[in-house]
Amino acid sequence: MSGGNVDWDKLAQFLLHFSPWILVKFLFWLGFATYFIFALVVLTQIFAMTKTIKSSLNVFIRIFGFLHLIFAGLLLLFMLGVL
């Protein structure tokens, strides 16, 4: 059965090659990638905030921001391997 220029039978056969979990996996990867971007935004925001209010605490907050970004990156790589 075909409609227009799309061969639906071929498309269905192509999609059947994949496990139904692939979509779930893709969504999870997307989730971890989004968290990595969030960590980047947090780091830039920490820099903006610590420029506005300067205190001796800022060093620790910046280190935390960097460690958090590294953690998010490593987790993303780990999950790309595990999932």
Q: How far apart are CA 34 and CA 23, in angstroms?
A: 16
Nearest in space to 35 (alpha carbons), one of 1, 63, 73: 73
CB of 66 to another protein, least distance (A): 13
Backbone torsion region of residue 25, taken as left when φ is above 0, otherwise alpha when ψ lies between -120 and 50, otherwise beta? alpha
Chain contacts with another protein (rule: CB under 8 A): 21, 24-25, 28, 31-32, 35, 38, 41-42, 45-46, 48-49, 51-57, 61, 68, 72, 75, 79, 82-83
CB of 71 to another protein, least distance (A): 9
Is the Cβ of residue 11 or residue 49 nearer to another protein in the bound state?
49
